[in-house]
A and B are shown apart, each in its own frame.
Chain A
Amino acid sequence: MNQHSDDELLKLFREGDNPDYAFNLIVRKYQQPIYWHIRRLVIVHDDADDIVQDVFIKAWNALKKFRGDSALYTWLYSIATNEAIGFLKKKKKRFFLPLIDMERQLTDSLEADVHYVGNEIEKKIQKAILSLPDKQRVVFNLRYFDEMKYEDMAKILNTSEGALKASYHHAVKKIEKFIKNN
């Protein structure tokens, strides 16, 4: 387990003899939360794998200019969220998919994914989550799975805490409704 704080890692990256090593430590510290965040959005492992690599490559390229206005943790989540949402948008455009078909497409991917081993209830909740609009899905996942504070989420999504609370509240209602009706 990586014991370095973000500040230590950034210092090591900027001032140390071996920035590659420092960056490797950053990857090891954040690869799992970032991967799971992406995976829950794009569903398929292969897609998540491509995106998580892109996220860290972008982070590597931008890290020299990273001023530390935000925490490394929220900064990486921002990149990951933008990359995952961007991927879904591109997918919609590529296949001319309206919202409802995109939901179906992701649900089908869930069913077909060999790396998905959820039980009945997990699958049901996952399908309910997939019925949410992308942004709402991000809010729900960050709050429910990552147990992220609204304060941090507001920085990542560039949205007010009030709007995020409302969004989460609404997402839960929608999920409940979906489960009741299915």
Chain B
Amino acid sequence: MTKSDRKELFEELSRISNGLSPGEFSGGFRTPDNYFDTLPNKIQGKIGNARSNQVPDIGFKLSWKPAMAIAAIVIAVALTSGLLLLRDGKYNGHLAGFDDAFVLEYLVSYADVDPHFFYDMVLESNLSNDEILFGFMTDNDIDDHQALFFYVNSLLDYHWIDTESLLTTDN
């Protein structure tokens, strides 16, 4: 964004808001005096404390390695089974005995999508649905179109948002 774009937006916002005088918009936040002079030393102090309180390496490795391996396996199994259920098209409002709230929470936590945000974008952007949908996904996320469709529908169904026509694919 160029300075002039920014200025233009600010001026537009100023004009809308009852003609309040335009000017450079800084946000209005400030910090206590000399805050940025002291912050680096505060951070160094905390790092120093953390270093002196560090548990010896050998103990850490012995206790955490098995726990992390188990956690990784549990997460991998949970994600794989969730995705397989979606891919198989078993989702029809309820996913394998889990209620909608659970599914929503699981999916939102997994892909970190705000359903309202998504819905608004579908409504008002000029992008195709595919562009928007895949914009949220990383390469390792859901890569099957149908699974994605179920995934998004599950979010929107939960919020009683009727987007049947909007969410049909463009292909």
A31 contacts B25, C-beta separation under 8 Å: no
Answer whether residue A4 sits at the interface, using C-beta atoms and an 8 A cutoff: no
B12 contacts A176, C-beta separation under 8 Å: yes
B1 contacts A99, C-beta separation under 8 Å: no
Query: Could you tell me the distance between the alpha carbons of A136 and B31 in the complex, rounded to whole angstroms?
Result: 25
Query: Could you tell me the distance between the alpha carbons of A32 and B50 in the complex, rounded to whole angstroms?
Result: 23
Q: Classify the secondary structure of B's interface with A.
A: helix
Residues of chain A with a CB closer than 8 A to B70's CB: none
Question: Which of B42, B44, B124 is the one whose CB lies under 8 Å from A170?
Answer: B124
Query: Could you tell me the distance between the alpha carbons of A170 and B121 in the complex, rounded to whole angstroms?
Result: 7
Report how many residues on chain B are interfacial, defined by Cβ distance under 8 Å. Answer: 46
A-B CB pair tally, cutoff 8 Å: 139
A116 contacts B136, C-beta separation under 8 Å: no
B125 contacts A118, C-beta separation under 8 Å: no
The contact string, 1 if C-beta is below 8 Å from chain B, for chain A 139-170, is 00001110100000000001110111111011
B29 contacts A116, C-beta separation under 8 Å: yes
Question: Which of A53, A134, A170 is the one whose CB lies under 8 Å from B46?
Answer: A53
Of residues 64 through 120 on chain B, the ones whose CB sits less than 8 Å from some CB of chain A are: 112, 114, 116-117, 120
Answer whether residue A64 sits at the interface, using C-beta atoms and an 8 A cutoff: no
Query: Could you tell me the distance between the alpha carbons of A118 and B43 in the complex, rounded to whole angstroms?
Result: 28
Query: Could you tell me the distance between the alpha carbons of A160 and B135 in the complex, rounded to whole angstroms?
Result: 5
- On whether A53 and B43 interact (CB within 8 A), knowing A163-B121, A163-B132, the answer reads yes
A126 contacts B28, C-beta separation under 8 Å: yes
B117 contacts A135, C-beta separation under 8 Å: yes
Q: Can you list the 6 inter-chain pairs with the closest CB atoms, starting with the nearest?
A: A118-B28, A163-B135, A166-B125, A122-B28, A160-B135, A121-B20
- Where the two chains meet, the residues of B that have a C-beta atom closer than 8 Å to any C-beta of A are 1, 3, 6, 9, 12-14, 16-17, 20-21, 23, 25-32, 35-36, 39-40, 42-44, 46-47, 50, 112, 114, 116-117, 120-121, 124-127, 131-132, 134-136, 138
- Where the two chains meet, the residues of A that have a C-beta atom closer than 8 Å to any C-beta of B are 20, 23-24, 27-28, 31-32, 35-36, 39-40, 45, 49, 52-53, 56-57, 60, 99, 115-126, 128, 133-136, 143-145, 147, 158-160, 162-167, 169-170, 172-176, 179-180
Sample of 28 A–B contacts (CB below 8 Å): A24-B40, A24-B44, A45-B29, A45-B31, A49-B39, A57-B47, A115-B30, A117-B30, A118-B29, A120-B20, A121-B14, A121-B21, A122-B26, A123-B28, A124-B20, A125-B13, A128-B13, A135-B117, A160-B135, A162-B127, A162-B131, A163-B121, A163-B132, A165-B127, A166-B132, A166-B135, A170-B121, A175-B13
